[in-house]
Chains A and B, each alone.
Chain A
Amino acid sequence: MRTTVKNIIGKYNNDKTRLMDILLDTQNELGFIPSEAVEVIAEGCGLSKVDVEQTRSFYHFFTCKPVGEYAVYLNDSVIAKMMGRDEVAKAFEKEAGCTFGNVSEDGKIGLYNTACIGMSDQEPAAIINDTVFTSLTPELVKDIVAQMKAGKKASEMVELKGDGKNNSKLINSMVFNNIRKSGSVLFSDYEEGASLKKIGGMTPNEVINEVKASYVRGRGGAGFPTGMKWDFCRQSEGTHYVLCNADEGEPGTFKERVILTEVPKLLFEGMAIAGYAIDSKVGILYLRYEYKYLQAYLENALEEMRKNNLLGKSIGGKEGFDFDIRIQFGAGAYVCGEESALIESAEGKRGEPRNRPPFPVQKGYMDSPTVVNNVETLCSIVKIVNNGAEWFTMIGSKESAGTKLLSISGDCKFPGVYEIEWGMRVRDMLEMVGAEDVQAVQIGGPSGVCIGPKDFKRTICFEDLPTGGSIMIFDNSRRLIEDVVTNFTDFFIEESCGSCVPCRAITVLMRQKLQKIIDGHGIMKDIDDLKNWGEKMKIANRCGLGQTAAAPILTTIENFREKYEALVSKDDYKSEFNMAAAVADSCEYVNRVPNL
């Protein structure tokens, strides 16, 4: 084992900033990361054991115990549950002979819960040894477990094939893209490499000005003007880096998966444009581990681009335009979608968001000026370069230029990916996807807002309802507080890095208070308490995760207060403590009836 780990460390030149890769490879090779391996890694990288352990223990997919020959990671997001995930989980437990969180006695099958894996339009879904299984049913599970017992490779169990490039040899997956609507930007035809040739005749500043003139804003959700970001970075001194954030972890999002499957070269081209504009030679695609099944395909796409002189040295024949990309996998941490946490992770550390200032454009990856852009943003920029900024500004709404990819899931006839123009009404969107009897729509995932019918006249755009792309629809058969809000809040509790006190502690306290209300012990004051505590969360935490961890509770209190009020008693005081039940055992023991 020591030799195996030493070889892995050697592969990365004993570089502690590549700790993520070292741990990923170790987990892959050994099936877990034993403390002996931690010791070898620490020694090899010049770290203390606790230094290595702090990174290892941060990420969901790194384990200190064997995960089993087949490690089943079954999504437990609210959408998965709505689509029958619990029955599938029961089937797995029955067939495998162990409960979730454990490995079967023979060490063959391990069962684990995991947060949204980016398959909300084809749930219930699971990842088994890096292979994705979608639209699971108890019957399918029986079949899958039988094949595991027969020793078949997970990747060979897939018989049904997905659509589009999922069919290709290098992906070979049952995943469906479900592109229901193609717009004029992201999924429109384009000539590969044309944008790179075009910028060869422009100065970097001209490229930045073109991006600025397009008014394109960051597609991750925050909407920061991309041209400004590039400009700031270009002006900062030092080695520059381009990082692409493909860590889409917001439950209900899966549009980046579709881009990476269908048009990965569009993205890489966008990264190269960014590289040219900010004078960077190194690009890193930070990809969530859940999309590991795309690795061979993406590496191949990069290789083809290198062969075609669209990456590497003197791109498009332009002297000095050197740029290449490597893929950095995450290991299961939602918070790494926050750009500074992503940078920390890419440097081999815990994914804890950094304090600002300095901003990543001043001091980012390796303390150097870094641009972190969303997948969709970079793809849009290729088309902006090709077709001109003015063309782009003609699309969309007043303050939101261009199109937006929405990942729509939940109670609707046609879940999938839609490229819409910014400015679409929620009502029109619901009609488009075939949603009826809608109780609530979650715009922008758990960190966004939960709106009811009175707000369906509002529009999806930065100036009204901004979204990173996750749209979840709940019809009137769903229990909004009991099933949806609790699931979202549990998600934030699980995914908090723990650094800020309010996010770490108060989210848990709010979840307990919510349970008190659900259990019928709540009073009106409890609703107000939740609101007050949640307001503090919004202002007191460092990063977007902490600031929005209370959003599921806050936005449902705001828009569905009557549902909370229906659950609480109108009394001023109600004990959450049942004295009779608490003393029942001791009363029985002394043969006495509780006198309550």
Chain B
Amino acid sequence: MGIFKNLFGKKTPVVETVVETKKEVADENVSIKEDKEIKHKTMSEKIKFTIDGKECLADKGQNVLDAALDNGIYIPYLCHVKGVKQAGSCRVCNVKVAGRCMTACTTPVAPGMEVENDTAELRDLRLSIIEALFVEGNHFCPACEKSGNCELQALAYRYQMMVPRFPYAFPQKKVEADNSKILIDRNRCILCKRCIRSFKDEKGRSYFAFKKRGHKLEISMDQEVAKNLTDKKAQEIMNTCPVGALINKEKGFDEPIGSRKFDKTMIGSTIKSVV
């Protein structure tokens, strides 16, 4: 499954340097203007709105996050998966509309809506959430199979997290290897619900679900439903997890550390306008 395509609206992840990316962003602005003029007549049903003052177009019913990505604007997120029912749980995509915080992934675009995205206040809010995720779990990136492909790690780099403002909790978490294909490492789980929302069997039963609540919340996998996972499904599950909590068993890696998705390109820097 083209999970990368789903996440970023791109066909293949592009590896490029940060300097080049900046240039590309500038180019994107030009191309958006041109696009708008061309598409203006054919897409009269598009809704106009702004993000940080920049004019954007959205489809009717589209959420702010997807619309922003389509307009070449990156709003960071961890729990969102395009096409899957939104959770609005990571709170990283919080934007401000009319002075109120709301998650971009759960807010439909309204005509004339003025969205604040890249402000100092929101940057700090997002960083604090990322830091909270780091301290509530045990994230040892150098030893993690997902390093370089991990969205939490990539966001920490993007927001230049140094020492978290919160003390580390170093909680004890269970690792579960009962399933033949998937290993669950709860040390790394950020409880984003992506796996819960994305995978149901043919009878509509869940592969994954939450257990308990609050700070004791954890992810659990149904061993009965997930008994006969195919390799393909297992790979999909691992790819859907933004971090290294769901790992394919008995498989090494295709790409070495250093040449993975976010090793050279900052997360969110390769978004292109498709509007």
Contact = CB atoms under 8 A, between A and B. Distances in A.
A501 B209 contact: no
A355 B132 contact: no
A385 to B, nearest CB: 35
A431 interface: no
Contacts of A210: none
B166 A50 contact: no
A362 to B, nearest CB: 12
B260 to A, nearest CB: 25
Given A51-B205, A57-B211, A509-B166, A504 B136 contact: yes
A506 B164 CA distance: 12
A498 B125 contact: no
Interface in B199-231: 201, 203-217, 220-222, 224-225
B133 A493 contact: no
A53 B220 contact: yes
Given A497-B213, A504-B191, A505-B135, A541 B206 contact: no
Interface stretch (A300-308, A466-474, A532-540): A532-540
Nearest to A511: B215
Interface string B137-169: 000000000000000000000000000011101
Interface residues of A, number: 39
B165 A529 contact: yes
Contacts of B43: none
B76 interface: no
B108 interface: yes
Interface in A30-62: 46-51, 53-54, 57-58
A363 interface: no
B87 A499 contact: yes
B194 interface: no
Contacts of B211: 50, 53-54, 57
A493 B132 contact: no
B71 to A, nearest CB: 21
Nearest to A52: B209
Interface string A488-525: 00000111111111101111110010000000000000
B128 interface: yes
B213 A509 contact: no
A498 B129 contact: no
Interface stretch (B23-31, B48-56, B89-97, B241-249): B89-97
A47 B209 CA distance: 11
A496 B214 CA distance: 5
Contact of B90 (A333, A355, A501): A501
A542 interface: yes
B29 to A, nearest CB: 30
A46 B108 CA distance: 33
A471 B217 CA distance: 31
A201 interface: no
Given A497-B214, A505-B135, A50 B88 contact: no
A504 B217 contact: yes
Contact of B106 (A57, A350, A355, A529): A355
Given A46-B204, A48-B209, A350-B210, A496 B129 contact: no
A500 B217 contact: no
A542 B90 CA distance: 10
A540 B125 contact: yes
B161 to A, nearest CB: 15
Contacts of A507: 215
A510 B32 CA distance: 44
Contacts of B222: 48-51
Contacts of B92: 501
A34 B240 CA distance: 32
B214 A50 contact: no
Contacts of B216: 498
Contacts of B91: 500-502, 540-542
B201 A501 contact: no
A48 B135 CA distance: 32
Contacts of A47: 205-206
Nearest to A43: B224
Interface in A574-593: none
A54 B214 contact: no
Interface in B74-123: 86-92, 94, 100-101, 103, 106-108
B201 A502 contact: no
Contact of B88 (A355, A502, A509): A355
A501 B129 contact: yes
B208 A50 contact: yes
A143 B216 CA distance: 37
A350 B224 CA distance: 21
Interface in A48-89: 48-51, 53-54, 57-58
A48 B209 CA distance: 9
A494 B215 CA distance: 8
A51 B210 CA distance: 8
Nearest to B210: A54
B174 to A, nearest CB: 14
B121 to A, nearest CB: 9
A19 to B, nearest CB: 13
A513 to B, nearest CB: 8
Contacts of A539: 94, 100-101, 125
A50 B215 contact: no
A500 B133 CA distance: 11
B220 A498 contact: no
Interface string A412-438: 000000000000000000000000000
B167 A512 contact: yes
A489 to B, nearest CB: 12
A536 B220 contact: no
Given A48-B225, A501-B89, A540-B94, A506 B213 contact: no
Contact of B224 (A48, A495, A508, A509): A48
A350 B91 CA distance: 20
A53 B209 CA distance: 8
Given A48-B201, A58-B212, A504-B215, A509 B132 contact: yes
Contacts of B135: 505, 509
Contact of B217 (A498, A506, A533): A498
Contact of B215 (A53, A57, A355, A493): A493
Nearest to B101: A539
B129 A51 contact: no
A582 to B, nearest CB: 16
B131 to A, nearest CB: 9
B214 A504 contact: yes
A347 B87 CA distance: 18
A539 B96 CA distance: 10
Contact of B221 (A50, A496, A508): A50
Contacts of A498: 191, 210, 212-217
9 contacts: A47-B206, A49-B224, A57-B211, A493-B215, A499-B191, A499-B193, A507-B215, A509-B132, A536-B128
Given A48-B206, A50-B206, A50-B225, 14 more contacts: A48-B205, A54-B210, A333-B213, A355-B103, A495-B214, A498-B216, A499-B217, A500-B88, A504-B136, A504-B191, A504-B217, A506-B132, A508-B169, A529-B165
5 shortest interchain CB distances as A-B pairs: A498-B217, A50-B209, A48-B205, A355-B106, A496-B214
Interface of A: 46-51, 53-54, 57-58, 333, 350, 355-357, 493-502, 504-509, 512, 529, 533, 536, 539-542
